[in-house]
Structure 1
Amino acid sequence: MDFNEQIKRLRKENNLTQEEMAKKLNVTRQAISNWENNRNLPDFEIIILIAETFGVSLDELILGDKKMNKIEQTLINDGKRTRAAKFNMVTTIIGSAFIILGIIFFLISGASVSYIDSNGFLHENFFLIPLGYLSLFVGIVIIIARIINSIRLAIKERKNN
């Protein structure tokens, strides 16, 4: 029995409408309908809540009478994709922050005044230029690494399908 059939069976065994089941699980009626019609799957936290609410084991709910089926593999793949998306977002933000920081260093360096004091010492913010280049370099390396990692994962996923 597939997951969508399990959800429908649990709902009918407990004499619930889609609306009533949705209220028990704090989701919309449309979510229940989508699960029952195999349009999408609930988050893993919701699957645990369903198992607890209706007193069934996760094995029974997810696997039904099969060993390993599509839903289990889909949940595993969704988890991997979610982690990859979070990693991509974080690395993009960090890389962009370094690039912006590098640009700021260059702007400050260009706007700052250099002068020679009465003792003949030159006063300038010379350290801002190398910091600007270093920040740009680090930002670009992080973003390139993220792109390479995304390409590697896409190739790996294509091979698995």
Structure 2
Amino acid sequence: MDFNEQLKTLRKERGLTQEQLAQELNVSRQAISNWENNKNLPDLEMVVTISKLFNLSLDELILGGNEMTNMAEKLIHDGSETRRAKMNLISISIGALLLLMGIGCLVIKSLSVEYIDAQGFLHENFFLLPIGFLLIFSGLLIFVIIGFKNLVVKYRVKE
């Protein structure tokens, strides 16, 4: 049984109108109507509230049996979206840190003083140039990979 059918059945078994149920859940009557007519689905917090109101486990409310319903598919999809968003945020943070470190290396190199000591040795921070460019390249590469990955995901969703 789909979530919309489950909600309608539970509401009628309790003898509640859509208006009364809406008042108990602090939502509009139109929201209840939309849920029952399968026009949209409630968010996760509201699903938990509904399960408490009707004294049902989340499994019973969402699945309504052994088959996967629209609600279960929505919750699974929302969970994967959240994980992907967290991974994107972490990756972008790492990329930004690498870029800043690379720029820092180049700034330090440009501000450092090069000199020849009394024995004739040149003292210079030349190693900062390749390290700086490597860090900048790595940061940009992370941004390009994340951007490409997001485009692929967005393209798959449209299909």
Q: TM-score range by the shorter chain?
A: 0.7 to 0.9
Q: 1-side partners of 2:15 and 2:139: how far apart?
A: 56
Corresponding position of 2:100: 100
Q: In the alignment, does 2:133 pair up with 1:133?
A: yes
Corresponding position of 1:112: 112
Q: After superposition, give the CA deviation of every residue in 1:24-54 in whole Å (9 maximum; x if it has no partner).
A: xxxxx57x974664354222x6645653564
Q: 1:31-110 residue pairs with structure 2 within 5 A?
A: 34=31, 37-38=34-35, 39-43=40-44, 47-48=47-48, 50-51=50-51, 54-64=54-64, 67-110=67-110
Paired residue type of 1:42: D
Gaps of 5+ in 1: 23-28
Shift in CA distance, 69/7, structure 1 to aligned 2, threshold 3 Å: same
Q: 2-side partners of 1:81 and 1:35: how far apart?
A: 25
Shift in CA distance, 46/124, structure 1 to aligned 2, threshold 3 Å: farther
Q: In the alignment, does 2:143 pair up with 1:143?
A: yes
Asked if the contact 2:109/2:129 (under 8 Å) is kept, the reply is: yes
Query: Normalising by the residue count of structure 1, what TM-score does the alignment of the two structures yield?
Result: 0.72
Aligned-pair Cα RMSD in Å: 3.1
Gaps of 5+ in 2: none
How far 1:62 moved relative to its partner?
0.8
Q: 1-side partners of 2:15 and 2:120: how far apart?
A: 89
Structure 1 runs of 4+ with >4 Å offset? 4-12, 14-22, 32-36
Asked if the contact 1:35/1:42 (under 8 Å) is kept, the reply is: no
Give aligned-pair identity as a percent: 38
Other structure's SS at 1:67 match: coil
Shift in CA distance, 74/126, structure 1 to aligned 2, threshold 3 Å: same
How far 1:61 moved relative to its partner?
0.4
Query: Normalising by the residue count of structure 2, what TM-score does the alignment of the two structures yield?
Result: 0.73
Other structure's SS at 1:88 match: helix
Q: 1-side partners of 2:49 and 2:119: how far apart?
A: 75
Paired residue type of 2:95: G
